[in-house]
Amino acid sequence: MAARRTRRITGPDVSRSTVARAARIAELLQYECSILLELYREKESFTADILVDGRLVSVPPPSSQLDTRDKLWRLHSALLQCRSLLDRAIAREEEELGGGKKGDYETQRKVVKDRLSYLLISTGELLKTAGGPALLTPNLEGLEIDGPTTLFELKLWVHRIFKEVDYWTKMAITTLEALPSVIAKESMMTTRVRSTRSARR
């Protein structure tokens, strides 16, 4: 009787599935973030001309020289800053602009926040697999974490934070989609090296 072989899930397999899951979460987050931005603009009657862009998150510039671990670290760090900014934005909104009825916007804002947390867990796992630090604390230095002082500026700042989350979600998708092939190559190279070594023995 032919027995079925069972294959143990190895390290690279775990990475691949984690990467796929993280990419899926990022895609969801990107979709949810676009809805949030739409709801916010609608709520605040904002037109494009009043809104200012510009990065709030501070990470090293991208480079082709970065290896998988560094790329993951850069992404993870940016997402961590995004979450800190988002938390602060939500708190300030509630504190200074809140008190009204809770509607679709508030619900969507929570959805985005939760989804960002899931994405952070996934990228954290990937970073750990890639040999990165187990626990990363967000670098808030130079971050406009307290935001502006007037309410109108506060609203613009909140919008910028949502845009920043949107931007880094797209970056996450791009980075994660690039990762599996790299891991596979590295995995193959590692396997080849090991087989060569065992042949020599």
Partner 1 sequence: MVKAHFPRGLTHWIMMMIWLVLLSLFCKSTQEENSQEHGYLNCGPQNVTLLHSGQMILLWEDQPSCSAVRDVLIYELVVFRAGQQVNYDEVAVTPDQIESTHYRIWTSFLDLEGASNSVRLRSRYNNHTSPWKEQTFPGKQTLKVPEIFPKDKWFMVGSTVTFYCILPSTEAFSTMYLNTGEQPSTTKINNQTYALTVYLNRASKNTCDHVKCETKTNNNNGACVYIGYPPHYRDLQCETRDLKSVECQWTVRGDTDLPFKEPKAPQLLGSPCLMLSKGRCSQKVEKVDVGERNWTLTAQNEFGMVELSDTADLSKRVHMFAPNGVKVSTVNARSVTLQWNLAKPQYNNLNITCQVRMSFGEISIIGIGLNSTVLNDLIPNWTYNATLRCGSTQHFWKWSEWSKKVFFRTYGEVPDALDVWMHMEGNHTKIIWKMPQAKQSHGHIEHYEVTWRKTTENHNQNSTKVAFNKQSLSLSLTRTKEYIVTVTARNINGSSPPSTITIPSLNPAGHRVKTSRIIGSNGGFNFSWSASPAASCGYIVDWCPTSGNHTEDWLKLPPNETYAKVFSRNFTDGRRYSLSLYACTQGAPLLLERREGYVTEKSIKEGLFKSMKGKQQDSNFEVSWDLISLAEQTAFIQGYVLYCSDNNNSVISFSTDDPAATSLKARNLKMGFYKFTMKAQTAVGECGATFITAILNSPTDNLIGAVLIPLLTIFGLLSLTIMLCFRHWACIKQKVFPPIPKPMLTSMGEHGCHLLHVDQCHHSEVHIMDVLELQCSEETPTNGYVCKENILFVFANTPKGYYNQPQKKYPPEPLTTTTTELPSLKGLPSSPFGSVFSNPTYNLNIKPGDQLSSSFPELQERKSLQRSMDGYQPQDLTETFNINPTEEDPGKPMSCVFTYVLLPQSLSK
Contact footprint for partner 1 (CB under 8 A)? 43-45, 49-50, 97-101, 103, 150-152, 155
Comparing CB distances to partner 1, the nearer of 9 and 48 is: 48
For the bound state, the minimum distance from the C-beta of residue 93 to partner 1, rounded and expressed in Å, comes to 9
136-164 b/e with 16+ CB inside 10 Å = b? Answer: bebeeeeeeeebeeeeeebbbbbbbbbbb
Return the number of other C-beta atoms located less than 10 Å from residue 88's C-beta.
19
For the bound state, the minimum distance from the C-beta of residue 108 to partner 1, rounded and expressed in Å, comes to 14
Comparing CB distances to partner 1, the nearer of 13 and 104 is: 104
Comparing CB distances to partner 1, the nearer of 70 and 106 is: 106
Amino acid at 196: T
For the bound state, the minimum distance from the C-beta of residue 112 to partner 1, rounded and expressed in Å, comes to 18
Distance CA 81, CA 171 (A): 14
For the bound state, the minimum distance from the C-beta of residue 150 to partner 1, rounded and expressed in Å, comes to 6
For the bound state, the minimum distance from the C-beta of residue 169 to partner 1, rounded and expressed in Å, comes to 25
Distance CA 191, CA 197 (A): 10
Amino acid at 116: L
Burial class (CB in 10 A: 0-12, 13-18, 19+), 69: middle
Comparing CB distances to partner 1, the nearer of 43 and 128 is: 43
Comparing CB distances to partner 1, the nearer of 51 and 136 is: 51
